[in-house]
A and B are shown apart, each in its own frame.
Chain A
Amino acid sequence: MTATDQLLFRGADWDFRTLQRICDACEQVARDELGLDVYPNQIEVITAEQMLDAYSSVGMPLFYKHWSFGKHFAFQEASYRKGLMGLAYEIVINSSPCISYLMEENTATMQTLVIAHAAFGHNHFFKNNYLFKQWTDADGILDYLEFAKRYVAHCEERHGRLAVEHTLDAAHALMSHGIDRYPGKKSLDLRAEEKRAGRRRAHEESAFNDLWRTVPGGKVKSDAILDVERRRQMLGLPQENLLYFLEKTAPRLRPWQRELLRIVRHIAQYFYPQSQTKVMNEGTATYVHYRIMSRLHQQGRLTDGNFLEFLQSHTNVVFQPEFDDPRYSGFNPYALGFAMMQDIERIVTNPKDEDREWFPDIAGKGDAMGVLRDVWANYRDESFISQFMSPRLMRHFRLFHLHDDPEERAGILVDAIHNERGYRRLRRELARQYDVGFIDANIEVVDVDLAGDRRLMLRHTVVKGAQLSEADTKRVLQHLADLWSYDVSLVETDGVGKVLKEYVANPRNIAVAA
């Protein structure tokens, strides 16, 4: 066989046979040389418009109808037309089979890149990372989304579009606080969820919660006021999963509204691992596509021209502007992730003394892929950075740490730079930027005034003086009050319990409770 016969394709054009050849070639490298373990792959070729479509419903192939997705579509379409935004080359879905979307406009080289990146890189990560294993149900998600879509449509038929919209609006506002952060009982089984939904609905329509026996208006006369501890225990307080709490205990929600909250909560939970593993996930996929593409080129299956085209897009993807560059908008997860993966490979295969000192477990171990597969399986962004950011990489990125205290009039303090004294502090601070515990506001339901006016009490524990933005908070609380259907209060307290600010919201008499 001559070298030209081995080429996967020539030029930029591709057809479905080419795609199949590309897939097979990528799979061979991924499986045999990199030892990747992936879900079955499904590749879908779509148009730019469909890509926009998928974008606006959080990248999912099917989703229930809601105006906000229309808004995102309109917004993205507008910026796409203005040329402000390029489209992503690919969208990949954490499901089994793992679905990757390819845009029809891509050249053959780009398709190869995308297949290597999404169908093997992301796919392996989805299947093996512990967070995804714990929190997402790849087999069930597509069926569950189908169920959610049907269920929402069914509710609209039965209860009117407006009532459903109000409920979903409220649920969306609380979506980021509808997540269990710590694995409790067991992982999700969305198929069983779906089956149970029907039965649960029937049951809840016939049963009622004794706790709320006294709900219908009037003055409550309860001699046996539950003692505080017992009450809090029964309600499962304190509870940081606001959607869960409402779903279980909001007194006047209809069963179908509870089911909607549940759906939004499940979907939020499904996306939770993605938010915690952006750097790792993109780093993995980028590292994998880089390895596969280089190997294909080595094997003579990509021409030099195609490989150069690939290198150009690859370089764009992993470009990290510096802080004073107008293009700078935070760390590029592709750049950071890829650099760290490559750095791990270097430490494993070709360590310096410094590396042996910092990474005694892996330095010089020799089996780069083995170490990387282990890393991909067992870390999330925060722990990954705090474990594997090396001094060499900190010097490479010329990292420095700023501490900005508004009380300090003089200015912003440079707290650490990339030197011996600074490495550990830099690494700790950078890892903290990826710690979900710090990223999301810490808001909990602390109590319900059962004896009095059923006010729901929330607390926001302020960290480092960052309080909630007032306008947004008022509107979210309004949604919360509408779902709860009694007053809701939120206090912001600092670390020692001093109250900094208090909000109260009264429920509106709108269709939510109707």
Chain B
Amino acid sequence: MAIHIVDRRLNPGSKSLENRQRFLRRAKALVQGAVKKSSQDRDIKDVLEGGEVSVPIDGMDEPRFRREGGTRDMVLPGNKKFVEGDILPRPNPSGGKGRGAGEGDSEDTFRFVLSRDEFVDLFLDDLELPDLAKRKLAEVESEGIRRAGYSTSGSPANISVSRTVSRALARRVALRRPRPEALAALEAELADCSDEARRAELMAEIEALRAKISRIPFIDPIDIRYRRFETVPKPVAQAVMFCLMDVSGSMTEHMKDLAKRFYMLLYVFLKRRYRHVEIVFIRHTDRAEEVDEQTFFYGPASGGTLVSSALQAMHDIVRTRFRPADWNIYAAQASDGDNSYADGEVTSRLLTDKILPITQFFAYLEVGQENGLSYEMPNSSLWTLYESLRASGAPLSMRKVNERSEIFPVFHDLFQRRSQQERNAS
């Protein structure tokens, strides 16, 4: 009897994938908690890398009727010195753990490897961009062209040769068009043949073949196929993110770090939504300049503080490079809240007249000293100014942050999915 041997390795081993996703859905709250905890401890850049999280298994166990306690009898191997009637001390007071009883229940927590997508999904789950479809975004689309199969009519430039030839071949085979070799063979035989009767036979056959060949053309108009194209609307999916930061002497490394984490989160977040995300770094003291990321976070600078300079710079850049009609504009400003007194008026006017009307979202993050308490921070001049703007209805979001661990909750808070009314109220 032949034994059947099958190679199953080629089957993708994805049987577990579906079950794995179900498990993830089921354990979502647990895994999400673990993801947030693990992302607090690492660099935000690494957040995009996915990775291991520890999931407590006890929230996910499946109950069964189990018995415990009572008198127990057990037969064990390996007696060395015991004799009948010996009394052995119990191993430890709990006494319950021994062989047989608590089998295999050591799965308290286990490390669970998440893919990059799974990780970021869970990380950013239930966040959304506010006012995503603001203004013309939904309508402003450019047209793209894509292949859409074949058609029986079209312009000669679009004839698909391979498709046409293969259809013609199929038709010729189906209709049994004689092959040229068959004809050539008969003609060769005719040339060599001297028997008259046979010659007549051959000539008739050749004639029949020729007739058939002419009846069945090599390429028929019905074989011809044209490549078809259709135009598809292509949504403009691009966003620009302005990072504005006060870098005057009062901004400590800690504060910059907080800001950086916030920007990174925003970047990860935007990256999920848009095909292109541009980042513009603007730092300012009493004058603003556009810089690269390195300079932005690590370059030394000093001077006074004029917030309006940064806003003005942003406005200029938008005007020259990012048409608000084509770009979704986001801005996040980080500052310790100091601004020169005289600048308030200018800042306020710039914001309300120029910046806010063109941005999807403007977040103001007031960063505080390490170990400070955010609710104990006295309202800074900038905070007071923004607060008054917000009170009069400007779409500004503002939060105070002191600790690294607060960054995610604050971010989460700002971008949480919520109803229109709530959003207006915040």
Alpha-carbon separation in the docked complex, A426 to B73 (Å): 10
User: Is residue A506 contacting chain B, with contact meaning CB distance below 8 A?
Assistant: no
Alpha-carbon separation in the docked complex, A466 to B70 (Å): 4
Known: A41-B3, A400-B76. A414 touches B82 (CB 8 A): yes
Nearest B residue to A323 via CB reads: B76
User: Is residue A220 contacting chain B, with contact meaning CB distance below 8 A?
Assistant: no
Chain A residues in 8 Å Cβ range of B67: 441, 466-469
Alpha-carbon separation in the docked complex, A417 to B77 (Å): 10
Interface 9-mer from B8-16, B141-149, B361-369: B8-16
CB contact list, A153-201 vs B, under 8 A: 165, 169, 172-173, 175-177
**Could you tell me if B26 and A404 are in contact, using CB atoms closer than 8 angstroms?**
no
Q: How far is the CB of B11 from chain A (nearest CB, A)?
A: 7
Contact among B18, B22, B99 for A329, CB-based, below 8 A: B99
Contact among A73, A397, A466, A471 for B16, CB-based, below 8 A: A73
**Could you tell me if A45 and B70 are in contact, using CB atoms closer than 8 angstroms?**
no
**Could you tell me if B90 and A176 are in contact, using CB atoms closer than 8 angstroms?**
no
Alpha-carbon separation in the docked complex, A106 to B48 (Å): 37
User: Is residue A479 contacting chain B, with contact meaning CB distance below 8 A?
Assistant: yes
Known: A44-B8, A467-B70. A472 touches B16 (CB 8 A): no
**Could you tell me if A78 and B75 are in contact, using CB atoms closer than 8 angstroms?**
no
Chain A residues in 8 Å Cβ range of B74: 401-402, 404, 429, 433
Binary per-residue interface labels of chain A (65-100) against chain B in the complex, 1 for a CB within 8 Å, 0 otherwise: 111111101110111011000000000000001000
Give the secondary structure class of A's interface.
mixed
Binary per-residue interface labels of chain B (50-90) against chain A in the complex, 1 for a CB within 8 Å, 0 otherwise: 00000101001011111111111111111110111111111
Known: A40-B1, A472-B66. A73 touches B76 (CB 8 A): no
CB contact list, A396-418 vs B, under 8 A: 397-407, 410-418
Interface 9-mer from B109-117, B254-262, B318-326, B409-417: B109-117
Alpha-carbon separation in the docked complex, A47 to B19 (Å): 19
**Could you tell me if B20 and A320 are in contact, using CB atoms closer than 8 angstroms?**
no
Alpha-carbon separation in the docked complex, A70 to B110 (Å): 13
Q: How far is the CB of B372 from chain A (nearest CB, A)?
A: 40
Q: How far is the CB of B147 from chain A (nearest CB, A)?
A: 33
User: Is residue B6 contacting chain A, with contact meaning CB distance below 8 A?
Assistant: yes
How many residues does chain A have at the interface if contact means C-beta atoms less than 8 Å apart? Answer: 101
User: Is residue B100 contacting chain A, with contact meaning CB distance below 8 A?
Assistant: yes
Alpha-carbon separation in the docked complex, A465 to B73 (Å): 12
User: Is residue A212 contacting chain B, with contact meaning CB distance below 8 A?
Assistant: no
Alpha-carbon separation in the docked complex, A40 to B2 (Å): 9
Nearest A residue to B21 via CB reads: A70
Chain A residues in 8 Å Cβ range of B27: 67, 71
Nearest A residue to B68 via CB reads: A469
Q: How far is the CB of A174 from chain B (nearest CB, A)?
A: 8
Nearest B residue to A45 via CB reads: B7
Chain A residues in 8 Å Cβ range of B55: 74
**Could you tell me if B77 and A472 are in contact, using CB atoms closer than 8 angstroms?**
no
Nearest B residue to A466 via CB reads: B70
Known: A402-B73, A413-B85. A50 touches B8 (CB 8 A): yes
**Could you tell me if B6 and A45 are in contact, using CB atoms closer than 8 angstroms?**
yes
User: Is residue A19 contacting chain B, with contact meaning CB distance below 8 A?
Assistant: yes
Chain A residues in 8 Å Cβ range of B7: 16, 44-45
Binary per-residue interface labels of chain A (409-442) against chain B in the complex, 1 for a CB within 8 Å, 0 otherwise: 0111111111101100010011011000000010
User: Is residue A476 contacting chain B, with contact meaning CB distance below 8 A?
Assistant: yes
Alpha-carbon separation in the docked complex, A430 to B76 (Å): 9
User: Is residue B229 contacting chain A, with contact meaning CB distance below 8 A?
Assistant: no
Binary per-residue interface labels of chain A (41-69) against chain B in the complex, 1 for a CB within 8 Å, 0 otherwise: 11111110110110011000000011111
User: Is residue B24 contacting chain A, with contact meaning CB distance below 8 A?
Assistant: yes
Alpha-carbon separation in the docked complex, A79 to B72 (Å): 31
Nearest B residue to A492 via CB reads: B67
**Could you tell me if A398 and B63 are in contact, using CB atoms closer than 8 angstroms?**
no
User: Is residue B46 contacting chain A, with contact meaning CB distance below 8 A?
Assistant: no
Alpha-carbon separation in the docked complex, A70 to B15 (Å): 10
Known: A75-B107, A79-B110, A414-B85. A70 touches B22 (CB 8 A): yes
Chain A residues in 8 Å Cβ range of B72: 402-404, 464, 466
Q: How far is the CB of B108 from chain A (nearest CB, A)?
A: 11
User: Is residue B275 contacting chain A, with contact meaning CB distance below 8 A?
Assistant: no
Alpha-carbon separation in the docked complex, A460 to B66 (Å): 11
User: Is residue A502 contacting chain B, with contact meaning CB distance below 8 A?
Assistant: no
Alpha-carbon separation in the docked complex, A50 to B3 (Å): 22
User: Is residue A363 contacting chain B, with contact meaning CB distance below 8 A?
Assistant: no
Chain B residues in 8 Å Cβ range of A479: 63
User: Is residue A326 contacting chain B, with contact meaning CB distance below 8 A?
Assistant: no
Chain A residues in 8 Å Cβ range of B5: 16, 19-20, 23, 42-45
User: Is residue A443 contacting chain B, with contact meaning CB distance below 8 A?
Assistant: yes
Nearest A residue to B25 via CB reads: A67
Nearest A residue to B110 via CB reads: A78
Alpha-carbon separation in the docked complex, A432 to B345 (Å): 89
Chain A residues in 8 Å Cβ range of B71: 403-407, 464-466
Known: A74-B110, A325-B78, A328-B99. A49 touches B13 (CB 8 A): yes
Alpha-carbon separation in the docked complex, A182 to B55 (Å): 41
**Could you tell me if A74 and B20 are in contact, using CB atoms closer than 8 angstroms?**
yes
**Could you tell me if B87 and A413 are in contact, using CB atoms closer than 8 angstroms?**
yes
Alpha-carbon separation in the docked complex, A478 to B319 (Å): 64
Alpha-carbon separation in the docked complex, A404 to B99 (Å): 12
Chain B residues in 8 Å Cβ range of A177: 65
Alpha-carbon separation in the docked complex, A430 to B100 (Å): 13
Chain B residues in 8 Å Cβ range of A467: 67-70
**Could you tell me if A472 and B64 are in contact, using CB atoms closer than 8 angstroms?**
yes
Nearest A residue to B104 via CB reads: A329
- Which of B4, B79, B107 has the most CB atoms of chain A within a 10 A radius of its CB? B79
Chain B residues in 8 Å Cβ range of A42: 3-6
6 contacts between A and B (CB under 8 A): A43-B4, A52-B16, A77-B113, A397-B77, A398-B78, A469-B67
Pairs A-B, 8 closest by C-beta atoms = A322-B78, A70-B23, A466-B70, A465-B70, A70-B19, A475-B63, A323-B76, A67-B22
Task: Given contact pairs A43-B5, A475-B63, enumerate 19 new A-B contacts (beta carbons under 8 Å).
Answer: A20-B3, A20-B5, A24-B3, A40-B3, A46-B8, A50-B11, A53-B16, A70-B23, A73-B16, A323-B76, A330-B100, A330-B103, A398-B78, A402-B88, A406-B95, A465-B71, A467-B67, A469-B66, A476-B65
